Amino acid sequence: MIDLMIPFTDNKSAPYYEQIYCFIKKEIQEGRIGAGEKLPSTRQLAEKLSVSRSTTQLAYDQLVAEGYLEARPCRGYYAAEVESLLSMPERGSEETELLLEASGEEREEGMLDFSPRGIDLGHFPFSVWRKLSRETLQEGNREFFASGLPRGEQKLRGAICDYLRASRGIHCRPEQIVVGAGSEYLLMLLWQITGKRRIAMEDPTYRQASRVLQSLGHDILPVAIDRSGMRADLLAQSGADMAYIMPSHQFPTGAVMSVSRRREILNWSVEVPGRYLIEDDYDSEFRYRGRPIPALCGSDYAGRVIYIGTFSKAVAPAIRVSYMVLPEELNRRYDEVCGFYASTVSRVDQEILARFLEEGYFERHLNRMRGIYRNKHDALLEALEPLRKDFRISGQMAGLQLLLESCRGEREETLIARAAQAGVRVYGLSAYFLKPAESHTVILGYANLEEEEICRGVQILQEAWSTKEMA
């Protein structure tokens, strides 16, 4: 076993768990810890470094989530195989401030029910939005009512660039960004650049995207996922020339694409000219444990990744502003083919959003919402504890929903019907399948419920799904 002596720096620069994470990641990336080598247990490392065990656990969890470590049940943690090609970009401390929330102890207990598409609007920053809106709608600001730049205003694109660099590890220029009224609209523009394609999609996936892509005339090729994301071997066999993926937090499964899988997928994209990856980074803001997972786009040195982000989840669904970052080749083609399209977002809204980002309101709003969602998430996991003997829970690292898979082999229809009879609505995973298949998994979204409702909902589910009731 490796002896890790981590040289903690001034502890104000970054929390211990993050220093441990960075140190081990670098050791693995640079080959000083080889693939397959066993690491000390979290307890051993905690004792050695004189930190709490939750600190080492948090670092390991993050390394596992990103694919640097493998957790083998009852055996411990082992270094995974990683190629240096895909070393994650270094990011500054702004990111730490902006996105790292789960610095304290881990809380993994709690539960609820309801729609996986819900959002908690109870904390929408009305007064700030109203203030920015009022200040924008001044007589002196007539220019906001004139036609704007086709790709979106410079100020907003600049603010998005800053955000992406600080929080998602993406280094891009405002000239690569296209702002649009929703991701669906951006997919329409993209279709005009790439033409009809054969697009591999994770199965299950975000069905709204598959519907849009299909409606645009693309062929959709379902590719199965495992714990590390879309299976690269199946992608290679699929005949696809494009892939639509959610590496940071797959919807609806919550799978995080591992580092080696990222490398494989990126390698696939460069094997044949003209292949592209669409990275849908729809909710990377809401991660409750450890460091945020960097965007795949930040590791894309070959210009194969089209990055799509949105403010619908992080601010509010009615804020119809999404954006895409185009790799250089497609960016040039955009100018040729779509350069004449006027922006679909009003300049007033662009100005309000740009100021919301630039003046730190977005950061504060995210921090607040992350706390609120984490509390709900934790309440849900805690309430679910008694169900663990019959259900496998997954997707709990991030996002706004969890998956419950019946270990007793009950079908989702049965689970949904039982829950509905008892007055609780849960959702079947099969609604997200591209290829119809039997499912034993239900989804519980919790964003739109209060903690008390979550707990009550789970108690009802426990009763409704008890062996006695199901028999």
The footprint of its own copies (CB under 8 A) covers 117, 119, 121-122, 124, 126, 129-130, 133-134, 137-139, 142, 144-148, 181-182, 184-185, 188, 192, 208, 211-212, 215-216, 316-320, 337-338, 340-349
Residue 234 or 348 having the CB closest to its own copies: 348
* Structure-token pair, residue 203: 């199965």
Instruction: Report, in Å, the least distance between residue 288 CB and its own copies.
Output: 23
Phi, psi of 29 (to 5 degrees): -60, -40
| Cα distances (angstroms) measured from residue 300 to each of 170, 206, 242, 243, 269 | 9, 23, 15, 14, 10
Helix, coil or strand: residue 347: helix
Instruction: Report, in Å, the least distance between residue 447 CB and its own copies.
Output: 11
* Structure-token pair, residue 51: 């930190």
Residue 118 or 428 having the CB closest to its own copies: 118
Residue 42 or 343 having the CB closest to its own copies: 343
**Using CA atoms in the order 188, 194, 199, 200, what is the torsion angle rounded to 10 degrees?**
-110
Residue 46 or 314 having the CB closest to its own copies: 314
Residue 140 or 273 having the CB closest to its own copies: 140
> What are the residues facing 310 on neighbouring strands?
322
Instruction: Report, in Å, the least distance between residue 21 CB and its own copies.
Output: 36
Instruction: Report, in Å, the least distance between residue 147 CB and its own copies.
Output: 4
Instruction: Report, in Å, the least distance between residue 121 CB and its own copies.
Output: 5
Residue 23 or 124 having the CB closest to its own copies: 124
CB 112 within 8 A of CB 379: yes
Residue 17 or 356 having the CB closest to its own copies: 356
**Using CA atoms in the order 152, 156, 158, 160, what is the torsion angle rounded to 10 degrees?**
-100
Helix, coil or strand: residue 101: coil
* Structure-token pair, residue 282: 């729809």
Residue 188 or 230 having the CB closest to its own copies: 188
Instruction: Report, in Å, the least distance between residue 316 CB and its own copies.
Output: 4
The neighbour count for residue 2, using CB atoms within 10 Å, is 14
| Cα distances (angstroms) measured from residue 419 to each of 114, 425, 427 | 11, 6, 10
HEC states along 140-158? HHHHHHCCCCCCCCHHHHH
* Structure-token pair, residue 294: 């960097």
CB 305 within 8 A of CB 297: yes
Instruction: Report, in Å, the least distance between residue 144 CB and its own copies.
Output: 6
Half-sphere exposure of 133 (CA within 13 A, CB side): 8
Which of 266, 321, 270, 275 lies closest to 294 in space, CA to CA? 266
Instruction: Report, in Å, the least distance between residue 185 CB and its own copies.
Output: 6
Residue 165 or 313 having the CB closest to its own copies: 313
- Spell out the alpha helix ranges (H) of 138-258: 154-168, 183-194, 207-215, 232-237
